[in-house]
Amino acid sequence: MRTFTVRRARFIALCLLPGVVFVVLFTYYPMVRGAVIAFQRYNLFDITATPFVGLENFRAVLAEDRFWTALRNTGTWVAVSLFFQFLLGFGLALLLRRHFRGRGLYQAWVFFPWAMSGFLIGLLWRWMFNGQFGVVNDLLLKAGLIEERIGFLASPGWAMTSVIVANIWYGVTFFAIMIMAALQSVPGELYEAAAVDGASRLRRFWHVTLPHIRPTLALIVLLRIIWILNFPDLIYAMTGGGPAGSTDIVTTFLIQQVIGGDYGRAGAVGLLVLALLLAFSIFYLNATRFEKAR
């Protein structure tokens, strides 16, 4: 057994130092500084006077109708995106679990969008939903589903639907990857025993597959909720939160505060989002607490 000497401890500390410095400098310091700014009057156009103003920034944010509109939009954005991403991702994972020729190549092709930038995905879908020359309008016209072109991203009634469709397409891959990995962890002996007992495919899925992967499902759903809520890239690339704030969510609202130079209010929005996610995570983890599948 090796002796844990002072020299060895120094060597380990020296190896860890760059990583610790990087995390502190680029993660925790901005987080703490942003929290402090939330209680200051910190406007980029006058940084010579940044007094502490208590809860003034929070009161100003909560008094804005745009914030409450963004909060309602956030609920729609997260709930609808999550539901269809999970449903389609689960179905895709079940299909990809089967063995067929070219399975590896097909998996790589399906999973490729997850490696792309959210902002780039937004630009691609912005072009596809374009009201003048977008491919979505062309397809719907040729299929006879519409008689004239629709300005999807210019219409308050269609804009949220359009960005949600893009987000569903983008997020299906995440659920497919994670659920497929979970499915591969289910022991084959359980399926064989269930088949010997005469269980149908549906009963095997319900009584063997689901209980075994339920902890993984609970975790990835929570992670995805947090990521969707903190995913303004796609919306900002497609609509910038418009038209008339119809696609604004709380994180695009935060970006608008930053662009407007009001860092104090931006910090307040950031802390409100953090508190919202923390409260939801505690509630969700308590609600989904269950015994590990045997």
What is residue 282's predicted lDDT score, i.e. its pLDDT? 92
175 versus 290: the higher-pLDDT residue is 175
Residues 6+ apart with CB under 8 A from 204: 191, 194, 195
The domain at 65-289 falls in which architecture?
Orthogonal Bundle (1.10)
Q: Which long-range contacts (CB under 8 A, 24 or more apart) does 27-35 make?
A: 34/266, 34/267, 34/270, 34/271, 35/267, 35/270, 35/271
First vs last C-alpha separation in the chain = 37
40 with 262: CB under 8 angstroms?
no
Q: For residue 152, give the 3-state DSSP assignment.
A: coil
160 with 75: CB under 8 angstroms?
no
Q: What percent of the chain has pLDDT over 70?
A: 97
What count of Cα atoms within 13 Å lies in the side-chain half-sphere of residue 113?
20
Task: Give the mean model confidence (pLDDT) for residues 265-281.
Answer: 93
Residues 6+ apart with CB under 8 A from 117: 233
pLDDT (tens digit per residue) in 150-198: 999 988 889 999 999 999 999 898 899 889 888 888 888 888 888 888 8
Helical (H) or strand (E) element with 162: helix 156-183
Residue 18's alpha-carbon distances to 13, 24, 26, in angstroms, are 9, 10, 12
Q: Per-residue confidence at 293, pLDDT binned at 50, 70, 90? A: very low
What is residue 221's predicted lDDT score, i.e. its pLDDT? 93
210 versus 47: the higher-pLDDT residue is 210
pLDDT at 290 over 70: no
What is residue 4's predicted lDDT score, i.e. its pLDDT? 66
What is residue 294's predicted lDDT score, i.e. its pLDDT? 47
Distance CA 8, CA 12 (A): 6
pLDDT at 2 over 90: no
pLDDT (tens digit per residue) in 214-243: 888 999 999 999 999 988 889 989 998 888
pLDDT at 52 over 80: yes
Distance CA 270, CA 273 (A): 5
pLDDT (tens digit per residue) in 6-45: 888 888 889 999 999 999 999 899 999 989 999 998 888 8
Give the DSSP letter of residue 244. T
Q: Per-residue confidence at 250, pLDDT binned at 50, 70, 90? A: very high
Task: Write down the mean pLDDT value for the chain.
Answer: 88
Residue 123's alpha-carbon distances to 116, 119, 129, in angstroms, are 12, 6, 10
